[in-house]
Amino acid sequence: MDNIGFVGLGIMGRPMVKNLLQAGYPVTVWNRSRPGIDECVAAGAGEAASAAAVAKTSDIFISMVTDSPDVEQVILGDEGAIEGLRGHSVVVDMSTISPAVTREIAARLEVLNVAMLDAPVSGGDAGAIAGTLSIMVGGDRKVIDRVRPVFEVLGKTITRVGPIGAGQTVKLCNQVAVAGTLHAVCEALVLAQSSGVNPERMLEAVGAGAGASWQMSNLGPKIVDRDFAPGFMVDLLQKDLRLALDAAQDANQALPGTSLSRQLFSALQAIGGGADGTQALIRVLESLGESDFKAAAKRR
Ligand code: NAP
């Protein structure tokens, strides 16, 4: 079995490492802070002192960190993977970052004969725990085939969407659709509420028709219950919408709806909702009218 190196042991990285260990892969990890390392070592992972040291022991080096500069740091920076990678190894970045930065990193690695795939995911921490992520992969078909058994441990749907960078572009398309749909669901809820219609009945009726969506069926009931605990955090969605708008600008394409959704999420961050789940967007829409879910929830 390939030796796996894994860097970035946060909400997503930790369960992904555990699933790889469970499937029998030898996994060596490094993380910037201690708790992620301790949890993975307790589950059977080996520990290395830096991303470079992880790369030295790895056939497949996986990164699952936050944003473009973070991936640049753990792959190309001081004590980054580039200092330890060998000619036959493959780098797989599963973070959500810029497609353009992804292509730049891949070009730097290609000089060393190291192949790279971008393989961002959708499905949240629940998908990471269950090993049912949707993985959107960009890169060479032969390299994807080599890494496929590893992807099959982490996810249920593995789709090659094009050359290197295309995985990130498709992930950003996903986030554009997520933000726009959630924004629409929140507007439907405040319309029902401010018009005196029970929002639960609205969700039931609309959710069975052409207005149905994942956002409506999964987040609608949480909004009605005022459960703003994060499945997916506002700050992370804002990072993704920034990346989507940058990518759109690079492609000479306007995304007016995404810009508007991003502004509304900025208003939510401004009132302290950055660490809330994305469904907390309802708070901003409520402030634009007279609907009051809190009072209505108490009345029911
Ligand atoms: P997270 O819990 O914040 O974890 C991020 C990890 O990256 C942490 O281990 C952090 O180290 C590490 N890291 C960040 N910057 C670093 C740097 N410059 N150098 C070294 N390590 C660094 O985030 P997450 O939820 O696991 O998300 C990881 C990626 O997956 C993100 O790109 C996110 O957009 C994407 N994603 C997340 C979800 C989700 O539902 N959470 C779903 C799909 C995709 P520390 O532990 O030291 O902070």
Ligand 1 pocket check: which of 18, 19, 39, 65 to mutate, most ligand atoms within 8 Å of Cβ? 65
Q: Let me know if 156 is a catalytic residue.
A: no
Ligand 1 contacts (CB < 6 A) are 8-13, 31-33, 36, 64-66, 70, 73-74, 95-96, 121-122, 124-125, 232, 236
Kind of pairing between the strands at 46-47 and 60-63:
unpaired
DSSP 218: H
pLDDT of residue 88: 87
Instruction: Report helix, strand or coil for 173.
Output: helix
- Across the range 259-282, mean pLDDT stands at 98
Q: What is the C-alpha to C-alpha distance for residues 52 and 17, in angstroms, rounded to an integer?
A: 18
pLDDT of residue 124: 87
pLDDT tens across 208-217, in order? 999 999 999 9
Q: Which atom of ligand 1 is nearest to the CA of 96?
A: 32
**In 90-115, which positions are buried (b, 16+ CB within 10 angstroms) versus exposed (e)?**
bbbbbbbbbbebbbebbeebeeeebb
pLDDT tens across 64-74, in order? 999 999 999 99
CA of 10 from ligand 1 middle (Å) equals: 5
Q: What is the C-alpha to C-alpha distance for residues 272 and 108, in angstroms, rounded to an integer?
A: 39
Cα-trace Rg, the chain: 21
DSSP 227: -
In CATH, the number for domain 4-163 is: 3.40.50.720
Instruction: Evaluate whether 49 touches 76 at the Cβ level (below 8 Å).
Output: no
Architecture of domain 169-299: Orthogonal Bundle (1.10)
Average pLDDT value for the chain: 96
pLDDT tens across 80-128, in order? 999 999 888 999 999 999 999 999 999 999 999 999 999 999 998 899 9
pLDDT of residue 290: 78
- Within 10 Å of residue 32's Cβ, how many Cβ atoms? 15
pLDDT of residue 19: 98
pLDDT of residue 169: 98
Ligand 1 pocket check: which of 66, 132, 242, 243 to mutate, most ligand atoms within 8 Å of Cβ? 66
Q: What is the C-alpha to C-alpha distance for residues 92 and 64, in angstroms, rounded to an integer?
A: 9
pLDDT tens across 152-199, in order? 999 999 999 999 999 999 999 999 999 999 999 999 999 999 999 999
Instruction: Evaluate whether 263 touches 241 at the Cβ level (below 8 Å).
Output: no
Given the residues 18, 56, 142, 171, the one annotated as active site: 171
Ligand 1 pocket check: which of 32, 154, 235 to mutate, most ligand atoms within 8 Å of Cβ? 32
Cα 45 to chain centroid distance, Å, stands at: 23
Looking at the chain, which residues constitute the CATH 3.40.50.720 domain(s)? 4-163
Looking at the chain, which residues constitute the CATH 1.10.1040.10 domain(s)? 169-299
Instruction: Evaluate whether 164 touches 114 at the Cβ level (below 8 Å).
Output: no
pLDDT of residue 298: 56
